[in-house]
Amino acid sequence: MENKEIARLLSETADLMEIAGEDSFRIRSYRNAASAIDGYPERIADILRDPERKVTDIPGIGKGIAGALHELAARGSFERRDEMLEKFPPTALEFLKIQGLGPKSIRLIWEHYRISTIDELERLCKEEKLRVLPRMGAKLEEKVLRSIAQYRQRTGRYLLSYAETIAAEAGALLRAVGGVEAVTPAGSLRRGRETVGDLDLLVTGPDATAALGPFAKWGKVQEVLALGENKVSARVGYEGLQVDVRTLPVDTFGAAMQYFTGSKDHNVAIRTRAVRMGFKLSEYGLFRADGNTRVAGETEEGVYHALGLPWIPPELRENTGEIEAAEEGRLPELVELEQIRGDIHMHTTETDGRASLEEMAAAARERGYQYVAITDHSKALAMANGLDEKRVVEFARRVRELNREGALGIRVFSGLECDILKDGSLDLAHDALAELDFVIGSVHSHMHQESAEMTNRLLRALECPHLRALGHPTGRLLLQRDAFPFDFERVVTEAVRRGVWLEINASPERLDLHGTLIRTAKARGAKFTIATDAHHPKHLANMRYGILTARRGWLGPADVMNTLAADAFARAIQAKS
């Protein structure tokens, strides 16, 4: 088991214990252990197998949790989880994904109605039976019904990061088979979509088909859906992602890559163009209309070139103007990961991070960055031990000393992720914010305001003279929480006027802003940052997801402020209009 899967099982058990109304201390111990394991740099499974090591040496893991971990490693579950699943159906965990329902309200519903499915929950709402329970009402029923509809839309989607992990593990397995030369992901993963429905892996080599059998027998395969001469389909991993592995001859690889990368709308437009030019395009190649003469197919570049187009980057292939731009020579220069000079949204142990300022700076330096901005939370996030004015001023002083000493080998900007409060004011006094180099304003609460109210809230926040960027601007959590409503264009226009940048949050759970909104904002003159919102050194690697998202928004390096070198970035954050 990977750390994320172990953490998920512990966290779900804590949820079930909370639904059962069990002791809060025991619940917290499971949650703390899940958090520790999720952020731990080594595989817990490897530590459990090593007789020379103790898993209890990891902060947050006591003897009781250690026993559960050993059970997990041995049989995939543990006694406490089994007990909870005897009390409640596994679908109780689904209820926690419905906005408006927490463990206490789920327990109340269970005690009164003994329902076990989302369909039954929906029926209760429609029959107006939730409103008769304590602390529930008509508004909650409406909210639950909306959330159920949203939940059903999300079902069967997976985070980009999860799909990438499965692709990497499956690719390593396939490449280890003799006769395989290359394994290349296609589909939504290659286009950098924020969520993925399934995964396509294209395999080439002199004996590529030899890899199909080993893949079908892979330990992570839950179920083999189909096994043929050139393809195997299976459900893989604890979430059951469908993975299709296809073997291809080298001379058709480019056409197949173009076909299986998609999107569907892009491919329809490209095939229509081919027909107009007297060709026929399929996954096997580009042929003349008679179907007998192959024109291209070995490389994607060759296919696009034969159709009178330059190669179109996969992130742009959504049929939203990229073909016309290619035809007219207007394809944008897209930002590259190597062009990022610093990560400017991260948290430390001062609030809810898992590493110190020095450790985060060292990790950024190892990635080749010239600078970081340390942006811990402000005091409104009391659960995260957010900084008050006194701590902010002291933090700014400390950063100035560190930069003067130069001991970290990287420039540090003093920053803060400052809460935008319900009325649009910022969480800290202006004189404290003035001590900082870089202030991000983010919404973390009261996300259910009406659109007009949220718009006014954001507009008021933009009035703060010390605000430099809007963090995760729409507040969405992928597959969990939709964006809050507001007049995006109006807010962007005001942000541009006031010189406030828009963050592209690279956390794979957020990827906020998404590509369409990025294009809208760019057209109105917005500037952007790409930052990881890292809470652990390993999270710095998530920058690549932010880059993919920025590319889907057609951004070039000039659009992204943290492509600037350290001195130029320092001048930029001081030059707010």
Helix (H, G, I), strand (E, B) or coil at 242: strand
Radius of gyration of the chain measured on its C-alpha atoms: 26
CA distances from 368 to 3, 359, 372 (A): 27, 15, 11
CATH fit for domain 158-248, picks 3.30.460.10, 3.40.220.10, 1.10.3720.10, 3.90.1300.10: 3.30.460.10
User: What is the mean pLDDT of the segment spanning 99-124?
Assistant: 86
Contact call for residues 9 and 80 (beta carbons, < 8 A): no
> What's CA 139's distance to the chain center, in Å?
30
The larger pLDDT score, comparing residue 57 to residue 116, is at 57
46-70 per-position pLDDT tens digit:
999 998 999 999 988 999 999 999 9
233-292 per-position pLDDT tens digit:
999 987 789 999 999 999 999 999 999 999 999 999 999 999 999 999 999 999 998 878
- Place 19 in a pLDDT band, splitting at 50, 70 and 90: confident
CATH code, 3-154? 1.10.150.110
160-195 per-position pLDDT tens digit:
999 999 999 999 999 999 999 999 999 999 999 999
Contact call for residues 535 and 575 (beta carbons, < 8 A): no
Domains of the chain, by residue range, sit at: 3-154, 158-248, 253-327, 337-574
CA distances from 424 to 17, 245, 435, 449, 457 (A): 37, 50, 21, 12, 4
Across 320-344, b (16+ Cβ under 10 Å) vs e yields bebbebbeeeebbebbeeebbbbbb
- Fold: same for 158-248 and 337-574: no
CATH code, 253-327? 3.30.210.10
The pLDDT score that the predictor gives to residue 261 is 97
Contact call for residues 303 and 277 (beta carbons, < 8 A): no
351-367 per-position pLDDT tens digit:
989 899 999 999 999 99
Picking from 92-96, 477-481, 564-568, which range would have the lowest pLDDT averaged per residue? 92-96
Is the pLDDT at 445 greater than 50? The verdict is yes
As a whole number, the mean pLDDT across the chain is: 93
pTM, two decimal places:
0.85
- CA angle centred on 273, ends 272 and 274, rounded to 5°: 90
The pLDDT score that the predictor gives to residue 576 is 65
The rounded percent of the chain whose pLDDT value lies above 90 is 75
Contact call for residues 340 and 530 (beta carbons, < 8 A): yes
Superfamily of domain 337-574: Metal-dependent hydrolases (3.20.20.140)
Distance CA 72, CA 81 (A): 10
